[in-house]
Amino acid sequence: MTEVLIDYREKPLILELEKRAVPISIKPLALADIILQGQDYYTTPVSIAIERKTQTDFLNSIIDKRITTQLIAIKQNFPIYLLIIEGQENLYSLRDFHPNSIRGMLSSIALDLQIPIIQTKSIADTAAFIEVIHKRLEKPKKPISLLTKRKPFTLKEQQEYLIESLPGIGPLIAKSLLTNFKNVRAIINASPEELKKINKIGKKKAAEISSLLQADYQKDLQDHK
């Protein structure tokens, strides 16, 4: 079951979440304003930290540099994090700020800290967004395929597609490998020395391919950690 922890100072948001019957636990939080705790597909515990700022508070936090300190602390302590900026006024006209100061901070948050920024219209909209995240964590999950959907492959296309998924292998090299080794199994079983005989496959690329094919599958390894 997903637990929603919310800081006791977030009273308007608490009321909105209670209206929506979102199960919440109110307590003092040292970091973040909202924390959602659930599980991923592999039943590994997942914590999502959300920092909520009204537009005015966001601008004030730029002046005293509070926003940077808060977000760095959140990023250091949680695997998944979001910044919600709440309000629908023109952010650039609320205070006597140079627009580039605001753009610079938004860019720094998104690119340097790599923290997603969510814009909501109101406290009710913020509550609705949190409700959606809660429901998403509550739903049974399944792995996301890394392959794009498309029409069924012919046998030849399937063979080429499999080989193109190897490190540094494009369409031309894939066709060259299949032409020389005749089938996918032979390529998989090939040694680095044999792979190097193919044009445009050097020592480094051959080693990368061989390492990938021989490495044990680590089921518990999660990209989001």
pLDDT number for residue 2: 86
10-19, 155-164, 213-222: range with lowest mean pLDDT = 213-222
Sheet holding 3-7, edge to edge: 24-27, 3-7, 34-39, 45-54, 80-86, 117-120
Instruction: List, for residues 87-137, the tens digit of each pLDDT value.
Output: 999 999 998 889 999 999 999 999 999 999 999 999 999 999 999 999 888
User: Looking at the domain 155-214, which fold is it?
Assistant: DNA polymerase; domain 1 (1.10.150)
Query: Is pLDDT above 60 for 225?
Result: no
CA 109/CA 49 separation, integer angstroms: 15
Q: What is the DSSP letter of 92?
A: G
Q: What is the pTM of this model?
A: 0.67
Is 155-214 the same fold as 3-138? no
- 3-138 maps to which CATH number? 3.40.50.10130
pLDDT number for residue 168: 86
CA 207/CA 209 separation, integer angstroms: 5
Q: Roughly what angle, to the nearest 10 degrees, separates helices 55-63 and 99-107?
A: 90
Q: Which residues contact 155 (CB under 8 A, 6 or more apart)?
A: none
Give 144 or 204, the one with higher predicted confidence: 204
Query: Is pLDDT above 50 for 9?
Result: yes
Distances 168 to 119, 141, 146, 163, 172 between C-alpha atoms, Å: 38, 32, 17, 10, 11
Q: Which pair of structure tokens corresponds to residue 158?
A: 């399937």
pLDDT number for residue 219: 65
Ranges of each domain in the chain: 3-138, 155-214
Residue with tokens 């080693």: 207
